[in-house]
A = this chain, B = another copy of it.
Amino acid sequence: MGHHSGSARERIIDAAERVVIEFGAGHLTFDAVALKAGLSRGGLLYHFPDKEALLKAMLDRLMERMKMRRAKKRAELAEGTEREIVAHVLSSLEKPEEVDKAARARTAAILASGAHDPGLLAPAKEEYRKLMDELTENGLRFERAAVIAIATDGLRLLELLSVSPFDKDERRRIVGELISLAKEEKKAP
């Protein structure tokens, strides 16, 4: 099925994510993407016949990569109740946002799709439900898992919207608190 990596499709999706990050979800146009990807509108439209196709591809790759990153992180962690949720937090927030362009890029697809057609986000909702199931699989209490998950994704969204007021050190402490909250659950009565 898949083509060689570094394919035109991949390069175009990369470009689209960068457009959203630099100019905002409302400025994801074929023109801007073509410019960033280094090809013409026509060439771009050969790969993605319309905007919906591009957004769906962005979302699909986003979800795929998030799962991969989480799996990779989980493999580095010791077993335990909190293993899944810690993998989720760290795979999303481990690196400071200025550095982790990939993480910002991931969230970009969500905002761009929401701006264009909220209906496109239905699959993302299903994925989020599955994520919650996995997070609680090892016995972690649902409420605690949910709070940590929405805090993690909330911080990502706030950062992408440039509303997050936290500096690097504060952010590091917040991530630490999220991890603590996950581990605390083990010792609960």
A124–B173 CB distance below 8 A: no
A121–B161 CB distance below 8 A: yes
B177–A26 CB distance below 8 A: no
A26–B115 CB distance below 8 A: yes
Q: List chain A positions with a Cβ less than 8 A from chain B.
A: 23-26, 110-111, 114-118, 121-122, 124-126, 128-129, 132, 142-144, 146-148, 150-155, 157-158, 160-166, 170, 173-174, 176-178, 181
Determine how many copies of this chain the complex contains. 2
Contact flag A115-B118 (CB < 8 Å), given A125-B165, A126-B165, A153-B154? no
How far, in Å, is A181 (CB) from chain B's closest CB?
A: 7
B24–A147 CB distance below 8 A: no
Extra 19 A-B pairs, beta carbons < 8 Å, given A125-B165, A146-B170, A181-B181:
A23-B118, A24-B115, A24-B118, A26-B115, A26-B116, A111-B111, A114-B162, A115-B115, A118-B162, A121-B163, A125-B164, A126-B165, A128-B163, A132-B165, A146-B173, A151-B151, A152-B154, A154-B155, A154-B157
B25–A143 CB distance below 8 A: no
Chain B CB count within 10 A is highest, among A118, A121, A173, A176, for: A118
